[in-house]
């Protein structure tokens, strides 16, 4: 009986590392990472009422990147004299971008016009003030699937290699301390919001 007990212990001692390793592989070591910032008026305040936000997320499992996502939202009051947006039609066709820089600009995202928010203020049933705000969005994600990474451009798109002439669509690999800058591109580029991404 004593020999059988020793044999069982020896077998358990031999198999335990493999059982633990198998359990870890099945469950995986999951790490979620997030950088974010508010986009606030900058650059001489061509549009002091503008606002926005940017966010970058990743998820790794056992040290391997499983998914990453970049999302930026920009809001511009309509009309906006400083950004040459005169009305709703101009807001819908405006070329709004968010660039990412860290020791130089490495990615530029084109935002998609998604809606015109309307806010009406009434007093005693009488319309006192009406405000319109144009909302622009870029939302791109990359996820590991069988056979490789799959890019999903939910809204807008990002060129992640500004050093090349051709557009390289993807998800910008944002680092802590990188700066996001919102720009309206017309006859000239007008920067109007920025923020520094951090945890």
As a three-state string, the secondary structure of the chain is CHHHHHHHHHHHHHHHHHHHHHHHHHHCCEEEEEEEEEEEECCCCCCCCCEEEEEEEEEEECCEEEEEEEEEEEEEEECECCCCECCHHHHHHCEEEEEEECCCEEEEEECEEEEEEEEEEEECCEEEEEEEEEEEEEEEEEEEECCEEEEEEEECEEECCCCCCCCCECCCCCCCCCEEEEEEECCCEEEEEEEECEC
Give the domain ranges of the chain. Answer: 30-196
Which comes out higher in pLDDT, residue 198 or 186?
A: 198
pLDDT at residue 27 in the model: 54
pLDDT at residue 118 in the model: 94
Give the predicted TM-score (pTM) of the model.
Answer: 0.83
pLDDT in tens, 74-119: 999 999 999 999 999 999 999 999 999 998 999 999 999 999 999 8
Residue 8 has pLDDT above 50, yes or no: no
pLDDT in tens, 30-73: 999 999 999 999 999 999 999 999 999 999 999 999 999 999 99
Residue 9 has pLDDT above 60, yes or no: no
**Mean pLDDT score of the chain:** 88
């Amino acid at each position: 009986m004593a020999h059988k007990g020793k044999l069982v212990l020896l077998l358990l001692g031999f198999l335990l590392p493999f059982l633990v390793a198998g359990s870890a592989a099945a469950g995986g070591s999951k790490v979620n990472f997030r950088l974010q910032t508010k986009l606030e008026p900058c650059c001489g305040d061509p549009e002091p009422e503008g606002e926005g936000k940017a966010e970058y997320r990743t998820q790794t499992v056992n040290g391997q990147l499983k998914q990453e996502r970049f999302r930026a939202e920009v809001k511009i009051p309509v009309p906006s004299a400083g950004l040459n947006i005169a009305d709703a039609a101009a807001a819908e066709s405006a070329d709004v971008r968010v660039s990412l820089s860290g020791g130089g600009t490495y990615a530029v995202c084109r935002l998609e016009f998604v809606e015109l928010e309307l806010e009406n203020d009434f007093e005693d049933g009488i319309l006192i003030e009406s405000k319109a705000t144009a909302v622009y969005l870029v939302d791109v994600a990359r996820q590991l699937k069988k056979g490789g990474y799959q890019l999903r451009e939910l809204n807008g798109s990002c060129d992640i290699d500004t050093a090349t002439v051709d557009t390289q669509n993807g998800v910008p690999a944002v680092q802590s301390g990188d700066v996001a800058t919102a720009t309206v591109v017309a006859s000239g580029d007008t920067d109007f919001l920025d923020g520094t991404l951090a945890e």
